[in-house]
Amino acid sequence: MYDSIIIGSGAAGSTVARKLAEAGEKVLVLEKRPHIGGNCYDRLDAYGILIHEYGPHIFHTNEEDVFRFLSEFTDWHLFGHEVVANVHGELLPIPFNLNTLAKVYGQEQAKELEQILIAEYGAGSRVPIMELKKSAEPKIRAIADYVYENVFLHYTMKQWGQTPEEIDPEVTGRVPVLLSRDNRYFQDKYQGMPKDGYTAMFERMLAHPRITVKTSADCRDCMEFAETGVLLEGTEFTGNVIYTGALDELFGCVYGRLPYRSLDFRLEHFDKESFQGRSVVNYTVSEEFTRITEFKFLTGQQDTDGTTIVREYPFAYTGAKGEIPYYAILNDKNRGLYQKYADRLQSLKNVYLLGRLAEYKYYNIDAIVKKALQLAGTIRR
């Protein structure tokens, strides 16, 4: 009945499903959750405010093909996303940049430090904090020590349950010191939100006559991945299978559970115009939570009274009911464990792994959409 089966309906699964359907394939999408959209799923809360069920997702990209593809299914609320850190009650722009430098050190001293930083690394550079700490220049190391202690260390330990030294450089490299006065959290050309929300965008993406979507459908209830092939309802399936879920859980965690960090989201509504006057405040030296997001400042929604926020509390994923794996904990040991699971599929030439969970990697939305576009092109050659 189907040419391809896509397991998961988030950014990865929905994109590849649409492209394969447009290429003439009959596609089945199996989604374990009762809704489409993966972790980008958004909905109206009881107060009519559009919230992100699984934490805030800000779209940003320099990839023209990705932006063009997604724009087929949505208009945009575009804006330059800005984040501040609450450091002992003072709000500082992050990533730490030249504006932050002036707030911390004062204009006169900051001017001298700015010249030293730019001479060492170049104007506009993004310098990982761990690289700054290795500088031979004492004044640069002093800046690095301030950033490390007040912006990076405690936040990182809350987020990952590890010290920065224990975390893979791929992760720490995503938290730079920015040698410019650009207060935007990202410097990409396109930044913002789908105008009607992510769920509406994915609904349009999957609304194709050759796509069948089944929600509340766990692939493990109807499929088997054996060395000799894939079975669907007990019958051999020779079409393509694109799997976007947690790879260890596909095989019942027989080699042990892959470590992830999870998040506990605690929503709260206030009958006032605003709670914090901005979209995101990170709490880098205090509080058990990592950040507070005020949704209406992300979505641009203006048609409701009151405001809804969410606090994020990180914790170690255990696989318990209701927990969701969000961030792979990358190190050699965990990559080795992942590879044991991936090796179980090596003999199956028609099975493809795609996405954060299936590949045990970190992807931004644009990166996984681009990879999904490429995979669809590869399959259809």
Number of domains in the chain: 3
DSSP SS3 for 73: coil
Are residues 254 and 266 part of one domain?
no
Please check whether residue 344 lies inside any domain of the structure: yes
State both tokens at 49. Answer: 């405010």
Closest CA to 309 of 279, 353, 345: 279
Closest CA to 40 of 226, 375, 299, 351: 299
What tens digit of pLDDT does each residue of 121-160 get?
999 999 988 899 899 999 999 999 999 999 988 998 999 9
State both tokens at 111. Answer: 């001017």
Are residues 19 and 101 part of one domain?
no
Rounded to whole angstroms, how far apart are CA atoms 304 and 317? 35
Percentage with pLDDT > 90 across the chain:
91
- Centre a 10 Å sphere on the Cβ of residue 381 and count the other Cβ atoms it contains: 4
Are residues 71 and 124 part of one domain?
no
Please check whether residue 322 lies inside any domain of the structure: no
Are residues 356 and 253 part of one domain?
yes
Angle between helices 198-206 and 11-22 in degrees, nearest 10: 30
For 145-211, give the DSSP string.
HHHIIIIIIHHHHHHHSS-GGGS-HHHHTTSEEE-SS--BS---SEEEEETT-HHHHHHHHH--TTE
Angle between helices 98-105 and 107-121 in degrees, nearest 10: 140
Closest CA to 372 of 78, 38, 1: 38
Domain that holds residue 272: 260-316
Phi then psi dihedrals of residue 239, to 5 deg:
-80, -170
Are residues 350 and 201 part of one domain?
yes
Please check whether residue 248 lies inside any domain of the structure: yes
Are residues 230 and 268 part of one domain?
no
Q: Residues 261, 326: contact at Cβ < 8 Å? A: yes
Residue-level pLDDT at 167: 78
Domain boundary residue among 178, 204, 233? 178
Residue-level pLDDT at 191: 97
Please check whether residue 16 lies inside any domain of the structure: yes
What tens digit of pLDDT does each residue of 302-346 get?
888 899 999 999 999 999 999 999 999 999 999 999 999 999 999
Q: What is the CATH number of the domain that holds 213?
A: 3.40.50.720
Please check whether residue 186 lies inside any domain of the structure: no
Are residues 65 and 120 part of one domain?
no
What tens digit of pLDDT does each residue of 229-240 get?
999 999 999 999
Are residues 212 and 87 part of one domain?
no
Are residues 235 and 292 part of one domain?
no
Are residues 338 and 207 part of one domain?
yes
Residue-level pLDDT at 174: 67
Please check whether residue 159 lies inside any domain of the structure: yes
Please check whether residue 71 lies inside any domain of the structure: yes
Are residues 370 and 351 part of one domain?
yes
Helix (H) or strand (E) holding 165: none
Q: Which residues of the chain have pLDDT under 70?
A: 172-174
Please check whether residue 205 lies inside any domain of the structure: yes
Domain boundary residue among 178, 203, 226? 178
Are residues 254 and 157 part of one domain?
no
Domain boundary residue among 270, 285, 316? 316
